[in-house]
Chains A and B, each alone.
Chain A
Amino acid sequence: QKEVEQDPGPLSVPEGAIVSLNCTYSNSAFQYFMWYRQYSRKGPELLMYTYSSGNKEDGRFTAQVDKSSKYISLFIRDSQPSDSATYLCAMKSQGNLIFGKGTKLSVKP
């Protein structure tokens, strides 16, 4: 079992839809949970991070961590064509950052 699992998609939604992106993990020691966004032909950039369990909201984006289920989610409300990108989850404890493979999202106008 890989440490971090993420459905690669692709995921295609109409503009204005609510998007749910998810990752599961196996290492219960992970404490920091992040979502990176990667536009085509660009490097990943940090979108949100959460420490331990709970929710964090930033504008149209909400990150959730459920440590009991080893499951993290990113919700995008009122999705826009500019949200079209690959979203990578990432997590760490004391060591290096472990990335999921990314989910490619396309928001159609």
Chain B
Amino acid sequence: DAGVIQSPRHEVTEMGQEVTLRCKPISGHDYLFWYRQTMMRGLELLIYFNNNVPIDDSGMPEDRFSAKMPNASFSTLKIQPSEPRDSAVYFCASTPVERPTGELFFGEGSRLTVL
């Protein structure tokens, strides 16, 4: 089975530019999560979806960040305009509903550098 697929793997952009990160979850997984990882703050939950519906976006840092899930096989995280402090590795993860332990299946991440 293919795992969670993220693109791009690396993105270097300049401050003020729009950034779009993409994620394809594992087929059949009802939950999709977006995380951000930095050395200072570790792994932080930004937003998660259940059956394509956003459930909790309280971790989204500010209005510059938005996420969508138009269908069960695709999600985007958009940053507009980007700032240097957004530099981080962004992970997408998915999980099927029947796992109460909370096991998450992560993609390989999108490493974002904002100059």
Which residues of chain B in 92-115 are interfacial with respect to chain A, using CB atoms and an 8 Å cutoff? Answer: 93, 100-109
Residue in B43, B93, B108 whose beta carbon sits within 8 Å of that of A41 in the complex: B108
Say whether B93 contacts A49, CB under 8 Å. Answer: no
Instruction: Give which listed residue, A49, A88, A100, A102, contacts B101 with CB less than 8 A.
Output: A49
| Known contacts A43-B93, A43-B107; A32 and B42 CB within 8 A of each other | no
Say yes or no: is B56 at the interface (Cβ < 8 Å to chain A).
Answer: yes
At the interface, yes or no: B49 with Cβ under 8 Å from chain A? no
A88-B43 contact, Cβ under 8 Å, with A34-B101, A43-B4, A49-B101: yes
Size of the chain A interface, CB-CB below 8 angstroms: 19
| Complex interface: chain A residues within 8 A of B4 (CB) | 43
Choose one: A32, A44, A49, A51; the contact of B43 (CB below 8 Å).
Answer: A44
Q: Is the CB of A102 within 8 A of B104?
A: no
Q: Which residue from chain B places its CB closest to the CB of A100 in the assembled complex?
A: B42
Which A47-77 residues have a C-beta within 8 angstroms of B? 49, 51
A/B pair count, beta carbons within 8 Å:
47
Cβ B106 vs Cβ A44 within 8 A: yes
Bound complex: CA A49 to CA B104 (Å):
12
Q: Please state if A45 and B102 are interface contacts (CB–CB under 8 Å).
A: no
Are the CB atoms of B101 and A43 closer together than 8 Å? Answer: no
Minimum-distance CB pairs A-B, first 7: A43-B106, A101-B42, A99-B43, A97-B102, A92-B102, A46-B103, A32-B101
Residue positions of B touching A, CB distance < 8 A = 4, 41-43, 45, 48, 56, 91, 93, 100-109
On A, residues with C-beta under 8 Å from B are 32, 34, 41-46, 49, 51, 88, 90, 92, 96-97, 99-102
Give 18 A-B pairs besides A32-B102, A102-B43 with Cβ atoms closer than 8 angstroms.
A34-B102, A41-B108, A41-B109, A42-B108, A43-B4, A43-B93, A43-B106, A43-B109, A44-B104, A45-B105, A45-B106, A46-B103, A49-B101, A49-B103, A96-B48, A97-B104, A99-B43, A101-B41
